[in-house]
Amino acid sequence: MAARGTERSPLLGQRSHSPSTSIRLSDAAHALLSPEAKRQNLIIFILSILLFFTCWTNGFTSIPLLRVLEDRICHEYYDMSMSPLEPIDESLCKEEWIQSRMAFILSINSAIGALSGFLAAFPWGAAADRIGRKPVLTIAMTGMALEVIWDISVLWFHTHLPIKLIWLGGVFNIIGGGNAIVVGMLFSIATDATTDENRAVAFLRLHVAAMAGSLISPTLCALLMERVSPWVCQWIGVLLLVFGSVAIYGVPNPPKLPHSPSRDEQESDSDEDPVNQKTPSRLMKMISLPITPSLFLFFLLILLSMPVALATQTFMSQYVSKRYHIKLASTGYIQSTYGVGHIVQAFVILPLVSHLLTSTSIPAMFRAKDEKRRDVILLRGSFCFLLVGLIAVGLARDLVSFMFGLVILVLGSGYASLLKSLMSLYADAKHRSRLFSLIGMVEVLARVYSDPALAGLYSFGLHHGGGWIGAPYFGVALLIAACLALLSFIKLPQSNDAVID
């Protein structure tokens, strides 16, 4: 039997004009047109559509939740007992007490949801190995739908229920594990359905589908909120989750791909416990990753940089609406614009700069010696853009200046993928899945402190007024400055082999 190629095998092999080369090329061309390949492409296509519509959910629930919650707190502030169908003029709801209370409630709700998802991730991940990924995906989407329904119920019956009961909505992430499990299951199905050669392309398609869905939904929701009501948007979000939980069963089962385990996989399998091992044993093996000092610093960078992502999501809508006196519905257009810039940066600017840094056409003094040093240069540049962009956003006195700051932020938005790319250098194939599982755990834990910290800085800024209202972005800028300092202490592996082996 022919030897199976590995990651270290030459992509093109030896240059040869032997008949065997033509036969291999013919086999490869036939493989692309084979029923198995067509089935794989069909699965990725359906998953992309499913992910596209599923990613609408956040746009149809987050901004409407802000508006309805703001209105309910506004009723409380003005001591009005009006029907939920009689909202108060939004311009009257920008008082300091209202905005501070809203930020506090949302931050605690987000922290509870993140902690619940963190605690549930491993049990549901283990359950997926036993009952299948599709059932777990359905359960996770059901839990997310129940969370939205709970929020709607508490806010609709606000005259009878305390608003703080909305915090219990985050507990529903225990049912299925929340968004992290949904994304993990979809990409796991994609992994099962693809070969090593076309997996990167399949993941790129899924990423583009997710980004496109996230871009469209805030604009559509803004149009609906202006013409109908935020309640309609939230129920659409619920229906999208229900649709996703059912539609996943329309995805064909992945074909059984021929596979001969590599040496690394055999070593990995030999490290596993017997089939009847317990979940705690799995968990201990998952987190028992050898940590070098540089890898530890990378985990610290993830922990410190997480507030950047949160400051450009739901919090940005509340901040922009308050500071620049625009309706919450209109902030959906700003989020979509920022998302478009993010896609341009990811698929145009970053690849172009990456190519230039290793191109022989530029002077040697500006050229990166290899891909590892190139990624470090890009990461350092991303942090610099983030630092300048955050300060510009915090200082912006009008919406035009704010948008200019967002453009600078966009130029640094590739930091998250660069961090993961560099961290993968510190683990071999046997440990890489454990590494990314641990990265996910750190990201979830970072949300536990990030949202309350942003809310506290926002309340501080509102209390002091003037330029201090930009305190949340100044605070995040300090964290990014710390990231820049820590990056100078990181040492990359000296060889192409991973540190952990």
Rounded to an integer, the average pLDDT of 133-155 is: 90
Contacts of 239 (CB under 8 A, 6+ apart): none
| Sequence ranges of the chain with CATH classification 1.20.1250.20 | 36-255, 290-491
Under a CB-based contact definition with an 8 Å cutoff, are residues 141 and 176 in contact?
yes
Average pLDDT score over residue span 318-336:
88
> What is the per-residue pLDDT for 170?
87
11-20, 147-156, 212-221, 442-451: range with highest mean pLDDT: 147-156
The answer to whether residue 460 scores a pLDDT higher than 80 is yes
The mean pLDDT value for 270-298 works out to 59
485 pLDDT above the threshold of 90 = yes
In sequence order, the 6+-apart residues with CB closer than 8 A to the CB of 485 are none
Identify the band that residue 436 occupies on the pLDDT scale cut at 50, 70 and 90: low
- How far apart are the C-alpha atoms of 406 and 390, rounded to whole Å? 8
Tokens 């229900």 belong to: 242
Chain-wide mean pLDDT for the chain?
78
| pLDDT value at 287 more than 60 | no
Tokens standing for residue 484:
């820049």
Q: Give the pLDDT of residue 288.
A: 56
Tens-digit pLDDT profile for residues 66-94: 888 988 888 888 876 555 557 788 888 88
Q: Which of 6-15, 127-136, 281-290 has the highest mean pLDDT?
A: 127-136
- Whole-number pLDDT of residue 113: 87
Q: Would you state the pLDDT for residue 470?
A: 93
> What does the pLDDT average to over 140-153?
92
- Calpha distance 363→341 (Å, rounded): 29
Look at residue 248 and tell me whether its pLDDT is greater than 70: yes
Report domain 290-491's class.
mainly alpha
Percentage of the chain exceeding pLDDT 70:
78
> Would you state the pLDDT for residue 391?
96
Which range is least confidently modeled, 14-23, 292-301, 319-328? 14-23
- Residue 396 one-letter amino acid: A
Residue 390 scores a pLDDT above 90 = yes
347 HSE (CA, 13 A, CB side): 12
DSSP states along 374-430: HHHHHHHHHHHHHHHHHHHHHH--SHHHHHHHHHHHHHTTTHHHHHHHHHGGGS-HH
Distance of CA 201 to the CA centre of its chain: 19
Q: Which tokens in the block code for residue 154?
A: 């508490």
In which residue are the tokens 């240069």 written? 377
Q: Residue 477: is its pLDDT beyond 80?
A: yes
Q: Tell me, what DSSP letter sits at residue 345?
A: I
Which residues 6+ apart lie within 8 Å of 391 measured at CB? 405, 473, 474, 477
Four-way CATH pick for 36-255: 2.40.10.10, 3.40.50.300, 3.40.1190.20, 1.20.1250.20: 1.20.1250.20
Q: pTM of the predicted model, to two decimals?
A: 0.74
Taking the C-alpha atoms of 11, 15, 18 and 20 in order, what is their torsion angle to the nearest 10 degrees?
-10
Other residues' Cβ atoms within 10 Å of the Cβ of residue 141:
28
Which residues have C-beta within 8 Å of that of residue 153, sequence separation ≥ 6?
A: 161
Residue 20 has pLDDT above 90, yes or no: no
